[in-house]
Every structure is written in structure tokens, then in C-alpha cells.
Amino acid sequence: MGKQKQKSGEMDPATRAYEEGLRLISRHPMFAPLASHAHFVRMEGNLCPDNGWAVTTSSGYIHVHPKRRALPEEWIYILAHALLHLGFGHFKVMERQDMWNTACDAFIAKFLYDMRLGKPPEGMNGSVEIPSGKGAEEDLYRSFIDQGLPPSFHNLGTAGPGHQDMLLSSRASDRSYWGNKNVNWQDLLGKGLAMAVTSAVNVSAGYEAYLGANRDILTPAMKARNWFVSSYPLMGAMAADFRIIEDPLLCTRLSISVAAVDAEAKEIYVNPAAGLDEQECRFVLAHEFLHVGLRHHARAEGRDPYLWNVACDYVINGWLMEMGLGAFPRVGGLHDPELKGLSAESVYDRIVTDMRLYRKVATFRGVGTGDILEPKVPDWWDRKDGLTLDEFYRSCLSQGLDYHFDQNRGFLPAGLIEEIRALSQPPILWDVELAKWFDNYFSPLEKVRTYARISRRQASTPDIPRPRWVPDAGAEDGRTFGVVLDTSGSMDTKLLGKALGAIASYSMARDVPLVRVVFCDAAVYDQGYLAPEAIADRVSVKGRGGTILQPAIDLLEHAGDFPKSGPLLIITDGYCDRVSIRREHAFLIPKGHHLPFVPKGKVFRMD
């Protein structure tokens, strides 16, 4: 009976065994750095001979036979042999290249035999006796040149009989493949050896299963994460949902010196090279959890990302030290007792006044880089997944806060409690906040009954006049405010229309008869007093040049026809110089923008 055809999409046995061997060698702590930089080519027409298993080029490409069958442990041996040619720096131009290749093969065969790693395929010698005093490749090479090649040293390479498994790269040898010319393979092998020693200690301590498929490494970071899940409800839910990644090579690639967090992927990177103990890991993990839980990645709103990250670091670290949670890392961190009690926004407004100094400080990721990683998709937070994660993070902290108090888990700073409570409530829209601002300055007018202006007579008693309800005489005096409108070229016309429409609507609803309007860009354009209806109808905007707000503010503050109690409403996009304002005021700016100075008045960020 004929063999059944292989199902469509099903991996053939040869490929499956090769993929398993490659997966295992890529997870081996010693070979992982080499494998992550090498390129494995398993396709028809590559450089591997028909009777061989694999050949290695000096540019880091390993050409594997596309059809030969082997067990996974045999592929481990073959691929490890090929990677060690790179790691040992065997690619040299010698007088007898074949003898040099054999000497390198013999050295690697002895190395792998002593490691007991993998199994050589049938027909390939896996053990060799090297004469005493000739352990190095150079010694073996000189011995072969002087005395010839012993029979036991044949078939040690992975290219098959009669072929060399090391190829010096040239444009022809790698064909269409690009080589890794700048990779220091020997340095990668050194890192792998260091990781292998660490892994061996973990294996002997029972923390790690050697080359296991599901290794559970109880590193200090994992112990700290487990402590949050079992003993600290405030951040336990977040700790259970985040994945801890401790890969020194990946951390080096991402320039992470201590730790960083990816809110989109729900991953926290901890660099083992930082040498944190369990208490320090508790501090660092809590730091990253609070970054995400307090939505620092979404609250930047146009601020400089790095300086905003620095401001958040100062606030979080201050809280954690007050709480006595873990130990402040010896490798560094940001802490300033003078900033105690300030919000992240207030700290940011302080540090932007000396950006040259604060750009030199280091977060847990390093100098000049924030430990809040940038999302892979720039606008992901505005999409459905980002909003769902936002709700999840806020609910984690708000529920954790309730559990923390119920179980009397210890002291929490007031600022942290306020931020968690605030985030658990839905945000207030800017126009609702603006309406409250109007209510603060313009309370409803008291109306009185008067016969001076008689109301419409009732049909049942047409001969009896009715008094009309009208505002009390003089109640409208001083009932006005000033609007300084930035009409520079950077202002969005939609923003101008939205702001003026809201101002006109709220003014009419609160019986404000007139509004003093001043346009300004590089010059001042006084529009005088306008009725709210005129503002809502059509306004001819003047300017569209640069932005200088101070002359317009001075004009209103010193105008003789403008009441001293009248507040100012300033509409700008933030691209302006520092201003001085002596009377009550508020700012309307686009969402995502910030002012280059610290305003004492209210700031409304328009969506």
C-alpha cells in the first residue's frame, strides 16, 4: 500500500527535527548570544555540500542541508559545532587552509565531547584524542603540517568527507546574503559562558531545569513579583498580569541598564547585569507598576517625553521611600526630598526651567532615555486595545487600594491615594470645567417684579396688568470678563472656533452682556466690547504672525473701562513667552500642549 501524501501545511519530519534542535540550541545559555546574531540558511541551492550537514561562513551565515534527516540532539551537535567556529575566532587565512580547518574541527569535537552536548550524526567522529601539550588549534595545525594528518582526525567537520566546513566570505560565497561584518563573535561567546555559569548555579540550587521547555527561574525579580501577588494587594493584580523579562542581551539591545516597562505589551524588562537583590527588585517593580497604573505613558500630553519621565520618577521614588517598600537600588535612581508633596505635573514645570541639568540625570533605563518604553504603534492608546488596557490598569490600582486598606497593609502617601482615587473617576470634559469656571465668577442674576415693563396680559383677565420679572437695576454692572485670543499662525482655526463658540454660549447662558476681546500675535488688536451673540455669529480674526501675549494682557489690566474684578480668559496653543498676570485668569490650550511657564490660574485642555 502506498504512502499517504503529507497533509497540506504539515511540517515534514526532517524540518520538525531541525527546528527542535535549533530551538534548543538557541535557548542554551552558552550558545544563545551566538545564535541570536547568526543567520541559519536552510534552502535549496545553499552552500552546504550534498553529503554534508552544515557549513559556516565568516560573515555569520550557517548553511544547513535542506533535506537530510537527523535527530534533534544530532542537530544540536551540528549547530553548536558551527557556532563555535564563530565564537572561537577560527576564520583566519592560513597557508594550508584544509589543515587549519581540521585542527579547528578537532578542537571543537573535543570541547563538545567534554560538554556532553548533543550527539554527532552517524559517520561523523565525535571523540578524538589530542596529544598532550597540543590542546590549542595552533598547536594541532603545526603538528599536522610537520607530521601529517592522523587517520582518527578525518570526518570531524560538519561539511562531510572531502569538504571544509569553514568558508571565508566573499561576494560570491554568500551570494545574495548580507553578512554580519561588525559582530564580535568572541565577545558573544564570552557573554554566553558567563550566562552558562549563572545557569549552572541555578541548576545546582534547584531554581532552573537545564534546557527545560518550561523553566521557572526564581531570580530576585521573580521572587519580588511573587511577593506582590501574595502579600501586597495594592499592586498584586498588576504584578500577576505583567511578564518579567530578564534577558541581558535584549536589555543591552534596548539600552536598559536596570529596568523599563512596556505598557502596550504588559512586559517589564529587568537587566540581570544590574545585580539587584530581592528588596531592590521590589522597589524597581513597584516603580514600573506605578508608571503604568497611574497612566504616566498617556498623561504626557505634549510634554517632552524624557523630562516627563524624569518628573514621574521623582514623584514615584519619593512615595516608595515614604512607604518603605523595598530598598532604593544601589545602582542609582532619582530622588529629591525638596520635591516631596508635588505632583508629576508640578515637578515637570520646575525641571523644564533647567533642562540642561535634568537631561543629564539617569532613569532606571539610563541617561537620556526614559524607562517608559515607546509603543510599537504610535497611536495605539487611542484605539480600542489601549482604552481597554487603560480601564484595566485603573481598576487594578483602585481595587488594590481598597484591599490595602481593608487588610491594613501599611502606610500610603496622601499624594498616591489622591492620584489613584482621581484615576478611578471618569475624566471631566474641558467644556464642563469651563462651565464651572463661569459659575464661579458669574452667579445667576437676582430678578425682581416691576410694572415699569408690563408683561403680556392674560386672556382671562385682559384688564389686569401683570408685572414682569427683570434683573435688578445695576446687577449687570461690572458683569464682564476679558478674552485674550492668540491669533498667531500656529493656532488651529478649528480650535479658535470651538473656543469662541463655547465662550459665547456660556456668556449668554449666564447673562454676561458684553465681553472685552483682544486679539494678539506679534501685535495687539483691541476689538473693544462685543456682545456674546456677535462672538457666536462671526468674528474677523486679525494677526496670524508670531505670539507675544504680554502686551495684550497689559492692555486689559490697565484699561480704564475694564473693571478691576473682571477675570481674563486666555486662549493660546502654548507657543508663547513667559507672562506676568496680576488678576484672576485661566488658560484654554489644545490637549497635548503645555505652557512654557508655571501658571497660577486654571488650565483647560481642549479635546
DSSP letters spanning 413-443: -HHHHHHHHHHTSPPPPHHHHHHHHHHHH-P
| H or E, element range at 248 | helix 248-253
Given 3-state DSSP classes, what are the helix, strand and coil percentages for the chain, each rounded to the nearest 5?
40, 15, 45
Per-residue model confidence as pLDDT tens digits over 401-438: 887 887 777 788 888 887 777 766 655 677 788 888 88
As a whole-number percent, the residues of the chain with pLDDT over 90 amount to 21
User: On the CB side of 587, how many CA atoms lie within 13 Å of its CA?
Assistant: 24
Residue with cell 480601564: 391
In this predicted structure, the answer to whether residue 351 has a pLDDT above a threshold of 50 is yes
Mean pLDDT of 308-323: 93
Average pLDDT (237-262) is: 89
Whole-number Å distance between alpha carbons of 581 and 557: 8
DSSP state of 369: B
Domains of the chain: 13-190 (no CATH), 220-423 (no CATH), 482-606 (3.40.50.410)
**Local structure of 197: helix, strand or coil:** helix
Give the model's confidence band at 215: pLDDT under 50 very low, under 70 low, under 90 confident, else very high.
very low
What's the mean pLDDT when you consider all of the chain? 81
d(CA 348, CA 156): 64
Closest-CA residue to 559 (of 480, 441, 473): 480
Report if pTM > 0.75.
Answer: no
What is residue 302's predicted lDDT score, i.e. its pLDDT? 72
166-172: Cβ within 8 A, 24+ apart: 166/55, 166/56, 166/58, 166/85, 166/90, 166/91, 166/101, 166/104, 167/47, 167/55, 167/56, 167/57, 167/58, 168/57, 168/58, 168/91, 168/93, 169/57, 169/58, 169/59, 169/61
Residue-by-residue DSSP string for 118-161: S-PPTTS----PPPTT--SHHHHHHHHHHH---GGGSS-SSS-T
What pLDDT, on the 0 to 100 scale, is given for residue 128?
A: 76
> Could you give the CA distance from residue 431 to residue 606 in angstroms, rounded to a whole number?
8
Structure confidence at residue 575 (pLDDT):
79
Instruction: Report strand pairing: 267-270 vs 259-262.
Output: antiparallel
d(CA 66, CA 56): 15
Q: Enter the C-alpha cell of residue 281.
A: 527588585
Q: Summarize pLDDT for 486-538 with one digit per residue, the tens.
A: 888 778 777 778 888 888 888 888 888 899 999 888 888 888 899 888 886 66
CB 363 within 8 A of CB 313: yes
